[in-house]
Structure 1
Amino acid sequence: MSKFVIHGGNRLQGEIRVGGAKNAVLPILAATVLSGKVSILTDCPNLKDVHTMIEILRSIGCRISFEDAVITIDTSTLSSYEVPEGLVREMRSSIFLMGPILGRCGKIKISYPGGCEIGPRPIDLHIKALEALGVKITEAHGFLECEVLGLKGCEIHLDYPSVGATENAILAAILAEGTTRIINAAKEPEIVDLQDFLQKMGAKIHGAGTSEIIIEGVKELREAEHRIMPDRIVTGTILAAGAATGGDILVTNAIASHVHPIISKLKECGCLILEKGDTLKLKAPERIRAVDTVKTLPYPGFPTDMQAQFMALMTVARGTSFFTETIFENRYKHVDELTRMGAKIKIDGRVAVIKGVKKLTGARVFAKDLRGGAALVIAGLIAEGITTVEDIVHIERGYEQFDKMLEQLGANIYKIK
């Protein structure tokens, strides 16, 4: 297993560019199936999850090349509606293929998806949305077998604004007959990026970014080229690392509006942040002050994917902060590891109380999920001595060359394979 070794104490400074978003490219890759033509995606992150999705698409007959952040995919050669179980178990986002394969083939056989163990993420909302469009779904032996004679537009009311269910419903509705309205849709920027790509292919869709999305089904789509939006969670993570180390950094290829909840909290703890075009400049005090409360919420609230990294920042803040995790019930796995480094954190159900300490000390810690792993790296940057972060395969699912990015800003970090 690879690991990061971090010699803490260096102040981050300099300039860094954020690449394309993992959570945008995965559903867009799935969407390419709908056209049955060639799609070109640029500024794609070179991540394990992206390669897994590419392998899944290849396994069902698509032709794909991935070079210099450009993915060229020809889905005209799609030859199977059965998705390999082993690959699906590696990555939860494989569930996005249900909508487009049903739209293209009228059937799909797929196993229940895997991914990070951050609590139950039932796919019942996906199933309900697809059933509303006319799909007959049979669940047996860990597989979902879905079939439809012809997808029919309808009104879909989501019980919860789930990002995945919203995206799957969109993808299934694009080639459906008639009009589909998705009510209580998720509003995340990644959904807007998916809409932008679909519109380039000729889909009739609008409303992404609001709670109601309307899709008028079309019979066919065309070739398209699309640049993947910048990764707002990588942007937030770099800003949190800069703040933790008393840094002075410039983040380029950032969309400030996507990270306003994070910027707001960083300003609250004493950081100066300037927004100009696609750049964010952060200047942090020597020691930040604690924010009163951090409560994770669906977009545009504070993202659950930034909770762990922000908690790492609060471990050395002046004062006490309270975190409430409302999205996933098992997303405090990083707490025990931060405590090993000297953090003072108490957990009561979904609430965490963090009392800031003057310093953390280096230790051997284990990444148990993607964002929790990033939090441990941030803790290592501010800790006294050497920190070894094990099991970084989780971190590398969402951060491309994380060590190189931080090294570029002056961190003393290296990877051991």
Structure 2
Amino acid sequence: MDSIAIQGGNRLNGTIPISGAKNSAIKLMAASILTDQPLLLTNMPRLADTKFLGQLLRQFGVEVTERDGADGQETLFHAREITSTFAPYDLVRQMRASFNVLGPLLARTGHAKVSLPGGCTIGARPVDLHLQALTALGAEIELDEGYVTASAPNGLTGAEIEFPFVSVGATEHALLAAVLATGTTVLRRAAREPEIGDLARCLVAMGAKIEGIDTDVLTITGVTALGGTTWSVIPDRIEMGSYAVAAAMAGGEVRLTRSRPGLIEALIARMVEAGVEVIPTEDGVIVRRDPAVRLKAVNVTTEVYPGFATDLQAQFMALMTLAEGESIIHENIFENRFMHAPELMRLGAEISVHAGEARVTGVEALHGAPVMATDLRASVCLVIAGLAARGETTIGRVYHLDRGFERLEEKLSACGADIRRIGGDGHEH
């Protein structure tokens, strides 16, 4: 199993291009099931998660062609004919979001059998809301031996759906199913994450009728068929935020390109409050900090978009380990999402966790040590901490990183980081 070794203490100076958003790309890939016409996605990230979903789509008969285009990496999806509507556990368990193929398969073919996604290290994340939404649209659903069997032989029918709480996955899933339903669907208390807006706009480009994009009420008027289109995946705001925090943690000056600072306004506001210089540019931001000047402690509370993203909480906690004073971090989105705290403490951080609250007392310096990644965002937080720690930090289980960060070592090395990947055989890659 691969690990990453970092010799801390180098300032970061240079440019990091931001990849397409993982959380948008995988839902756009699922949308390819809805049409027999080609869907070309540009600015496509090459990640473990997109690879897993590509394998699953091929199982349904979708042609998936990865290639280099004029604007970088792109992938062509062509679901001329759906030859299977079965999604086995072995593929779905590798990535929870692949469960969202259920709605498009049902909308396109009238039936599907998809494995439940299984456990998740950062909390239960149940799919009840997904299934309730599909049931409201007229699907008949049975649960048996870990599989969801869904049918709608006469097609799906529009419905009024009010989610009991904001759920990104359920909003996206209902949207993917409703675009081909007969009649009108209204989704209330819909999530407003930028990735949902990206999905909705792509569906509109394919011929869907959707009103209220970027609001918490989406109105979808079903159409009989969707066509193909070419769509550029939005920049990954979590990758952008992670590298912004990395630059602030290590010190120096990093220009983030191919990105949109408006997607991480809540993070930027807290970073500026902590004493980091963040300057907007035409296609991103410049992050600048003199490491000789101590950061100031800042409190954060994770919230649904446009609030502070739960997916940036671990990274910000790493930054606060070196801040002057005490910062309080409230996690309101996922339970059990402080598993990175004990690993940061191995590097010398002072953190106490009680339920959904972490108190971080800043220290003068972190010191390298062996640590273990527990999930995707926790693993990048340990990389960020390692960049500033004195001595060498080795991070195990970095397969988590490969799910959401493209060419991480290459991007950080280009800015002066001393970071290398060590294979399970002990050799550097």
The reply to whether TM is greater than 0.5 is: yes
- Is the Cα–Cα contact under 8 Å of residues 265 and 291 in structure 1 kept in the other structure? no
Query: Is the 2:296–2:323 Cα contact (8 Å) retained in structure 1?
Result: yes
Matches within 5 A, 1:234-383: 234-286=239-291, 287-383=293-389
> Is the CA contact 2:315–2:381 (under 8 Å) kept in the aligned structure 1?
yes
Amino acid in structure 2 at the alignment position of 1:135: A
1:90/1:275 CA distance change after superposition, 3 Å: same
Q: Confirm or deny that 1:414 pairs with 2:417.
A: no
In the TM superposition, residue 207 of structure 1 has moved relative to its aligned partner by 1.5
Question: CA 1:288 to 1:228, structure 2 compared with 1: closer, same or farther past 3 Å?
Answer: farther
Aligned partner (choices 153, 159, 167) of residue 158 of structure 2: 153
State the partner residue of 1:121: 125
SS at match of 2:20: coil
Whether 2:233 is the aligned partner of 1:218: answer: no
- What's the secondary structure of 1:354's corresponding residue? strand
How far the C-alpha of 1:247 sits from its partner, in A, is 2.1
TM-score (norm 2): 0.96
Structure 2 equivalent of residue 110 of structure 1: 114
- Which residue of structure 2 aligns with residue 26 of structure 1? 26
The answer to whether 1:176 aligns with 2:192 is no
- Check the 8 A contact 2:297/2:362 in 1, yes or no: no
1:96-128 deviations in Å (ceiling 9; x for gaps): 111111100111111111475111101111011
Runs of 4 or more, structure 1, over 4 Å off, are: none
Query: Matched residues in 2 for 1:377 and 1:256: separation?
Result: 22
1:282: how far off? 1.2
The aligned length equals 417
Within 2, Cα distance between the matches of 1:26 and 1:291? 36
Contact 1:40 1:73 in 2 (8 A): yes
CA contact (8 A) 1:44 1:228 kept: yes
Match of residue 398, structure 1, among 399, 404, 407: 404
2:8 — aligned with what?
A: 8
CA contact (8 A) 1:289 1:319 kept: no
Structure 1 pair 115–6 and aligned structure 2 pair: CA distance change class (3 A) = farther
Identity within the alignment, %: 42
Matched, 1:131 2:135: yes
1:179 shift after superposition: 0.6
Give the alignment of 1:198-217 within 5 angstroms.
Answer: 198-217=203-222
Which residue of 2 is the match for residue 46 of structure 1? 46
1:191 alignment partner in structure 2: 196
Please tell me whether the aligned partners of residues 318 and 384 of structure 2 are also in contact (alpha carbons under 8 angstroms). Answer: yes
Kept in 1: contact 2:192–2:216 (CA 8 A): yes
Q: Return the offset for 1:251.
A: 0.5
> Secondary structure of 1:292's partner?
coil
Q: 2:37 aligns to what?
A: 37
* Partners of 2:320 and 2:360 within 8 A in 1: yes
Q: Which runs of 5+ in 1 are unaligned?
A: none
- In structure 2, what residue type is equivalent to 1:376? L
Match status 1:58 vs 2:58 = yes
CA distance in 2, matches of 1:387, 1:359: 13
RMSD between aligned alpha carbons?
Answer: 1.0
- Partner SS for 2:156: coil
- Native 8 Å contact 2:168 2:193 kept in 1: yes
Q: Which amino acid aligns with 2:398?
A: I
- Tell me by how many angstroms 1:290 deviates: 3.3
Q: 1:77 & 1:415 partners in 2: Cα distance?
A: 41
> For each residue in 1:143-169, what CA deviation from the matched residue of structure 2 results, as whole angstroms up to 9, or x when unmatched?
111111321111110111101000000
Return the alpha-carbon distance in structure 1 between the equivalents of residues 119 and 12 of structure 2.
Answer: 31
Q: Give 1:208 deviation, angstroms.
A: 2.1
1:394 alignment partner, SS class: helix
Q: Is 1:144 the equivalent of 2:148? A: yes
Matched with 2:426 is none
Q: Give the whole-Å Cα distance in 1 for the aligned partners of 2:363 and 2:321.
A: 6
Partners in 2 of 1:4 and 1:220 — Cα distance? 47
Task: Work out the CA distance in 2 between the residues paired with 1:156 and 1:398.
Answer: 31
Task: Tell me if the contact between 2:273 and 2:298 (Cα under 8 Å) persists in the aligned partners.
Answer: no
Q: Are the counterparts in 2 of residues 119 and 330 from structure 1 also a CA contact under 8 Å? A: yes
Report the Cα distance in structure 2 between the residues aligned to 1:152 and 1:90, rounded to whole angstroms. 31
Q: In 2, are the aligned partners of 1:273 and 1:280 still within 8 Å (CA)? A: yes
- Secondary structure of residue in 2 paired with 1:182: strand
Contact 1:56 1:83 survives alignment (8 Å): yes
